[in-house]
A and B are shown apart, each in its own frame.
Chain A
Amino acid sequence: AQKITQTQPGMFVQEKEAVTLDCTYDTSDPSYGLFWYKQPSSGEMIFLIYQGSYDQQNATEGRYSLNFQKARKSANLVISASQLGDSAMYFCAMRELFSGSARQLTFGSGTQLTVLP
């Protein structure tokens, strides 16, 4: 089974609107971390936001917030007030503390976001 599933290969959003990128995960590890990265066409992988499995509150970083629903095993990224520069590929990733190699990140297949002017 896929550990990280991103079901939206592509998404479009109008500039200044909010958009939600979906991510579901599968783990039996009680301790894990969830990450979102942005990859523009230049190729660099840019860290956006982190959520720990024991964190009580949803993580926020500027215009990015993570809608963490532990029971549903989902960790959706919400981008508010989209900007043209937000157009990029977005990856969800997970690190499991006790399963396999504790240092390894598992990535989803990504969602290509296009912001329309």
Chain B
Amino acid sequence: ETGVTQTPRHLVMGMTNKKSLKCEQHLGHNAMYWYKQSAKKPLELMFVYSLEERVENNSVPSRFSPECPNSSHLFLHLHTLQPEDSALYLCASSQSSESSYNEQFFGPGTRLTVL
């Protein structure tokens, strides 16, 4: 595997379900990110992890719970979601979360549908 991988690619869940999204980066980066991408809206930064510590939480509802067990893996645990949470969830990584040149490498995303 190379780059940033995400599983599953597609997920359909009910509002009472619990599911998790997984992201893995094979680039040796120190920072990882979760973004939400909705149609015709800007990418919304949800969480930032640097060296496995959360450094940013942009007022995300508690029904989204991130976990970063090591610098290569990032999870997003989902529970009691709402239909408006349906979107593409993108994971990204970069060498550092605190540098000017902060090129982020993205995974292919998980297309989430909440029924």
> Do A and B form a real pair?
no
